[in-house]
Amino acid sequence: MFYDMFTCATPNYSTQNDSENTPVVVLEGESKKTFENLLSYIYPNTFILIDWDNIEEFLRFSEKYIVDSVLLSAKTFLEREFRKNPLYSLILADRYHFKSLYKESSKLVLDKFPEYKRKDIFSQLSLYSHTVLTKKYNAYTDSLAKLANVDFTSGYLHCDDCNKQSDHDLKINQEFIERSKQVQILPLPLPPTPPSATRKILFNSIGYRTCDNQFMTFQLPRKFKKHFGVFEPLECKKHKKDPTFYLYVELGE
C-alpha cells in the first residue's frame, strides 16, 4: 500500500523551492505517535512492545494500511493475554473478526456476564454480539431455573455389576436434587451461579463404584448437554488447557 502511495505521489512544481517540490504523502486522520510506534515496531530503532495501551491503535492502523505482520503480532498478543482483559479482547475480536479469540474471550465474559454487562465499554460491542451474548446467558439462567425438574437417570443403562438399579437411581437423583439446590437462581440482587461453577458442582464425583463412574462418564455429560448446551475448556497460548468448562458464543452463530 505504501509503495503505491509513494509511486503515485507527485511534487508541487508551482514553487521554485526544491524542498517544497519533494512529494508528500499525507495520512489523513492519523497521529504522528501512532505512525512512529508502528515504524518502531517494524524497524526497531526505538523498542516498542504491543500492550493494552496501544493494541487498539496497532490493530486499527495495521488493518487500514494492510500491514499484515503487525496485525498478526497484535492478534497474537490478544490470544496470549486475553484472560487479563476478556471484555476488551472480545470487543476487539468482534471488530476485527478474530474468530478463535472471540470464542475464547466470550467464555470468560459469559461466566461473569452481569458484571461485564454493567461496564461502560460493553456498549462498544456490535449489535450482533450484544444480542447473542444476552440470548446465550438468558438461556443459561432459564435452564438453571428448571434444573430441579431434570431426571438425571432417565434412559440410563446400568452396568452389569449393578444389582439394585432402582436403589441406585434413587441415590443418584437424591444427590442431584441437593446439587441443584446449590446452583439455583438466588433472589436478586445476587447474580446466578456462573456457568463454569454450575458445571463443576454437577460434575463432582458421586462415588467410586463402577456404575457411579459409568454414570459420570456417559450419562451425565449427555443430560448436561441436552439441558444447558455445549461447554468447553478454555484454550490459551500462554497456559495449558484449563480444566474448567465454560459456556461460549461464536462469530456467525
- pLDDT tens digit string along 63-90? 998 889 889 999 999 999 999 999 999 9
Q: Is the pLDDT of residue 208 over 90?
A: no
Distance set, CA 8 to CA 2, 24, 25, 69 (Å): 10, 10, 9, 24
Distance set, CA 1 to CA 7, 8, 38, 220 (Å): 10, 11, 15, 55
Cell numbers for 77, please give them.
498478543
pLDDT, greater one: 49 or 104: 104
**For 45-67, how does the pLDDT look when each residue is reduced to its tens digit (9 = 90+)?**
666 789 999 999 999 999 998 88
Residue 236 pLDDT level (bands cut at 50, 70, 90) = low
> 220: closest CA among 141, 165, 138, 155?
155
Helix (H) or strand (E) holding 245: strand 245-246
CB atoms inside a 10 Å sphere around CB 243 = 8
Q: What's the residue count for the chain?
A: 253
The rounded distance, in Å, linking the Cα atoms of 151 and 57 is: 52
The rounded distance, in Å, linking the Cα atoms of 240 and 139 is: 30
The rounded distance, in Å, linking the Cα atoms of 135 and 155 is: 30
**For 152-179, how does the pLDDT look when each residue is reduced to its tens digit (9 = 90+)?**
999 998 988 888 889 999 999 999 989 9
The rounded distance, in Å, linking the Cα atoms of 120 and 196 is: 25
Q: Does this model's pTM top 0.85?
A: no
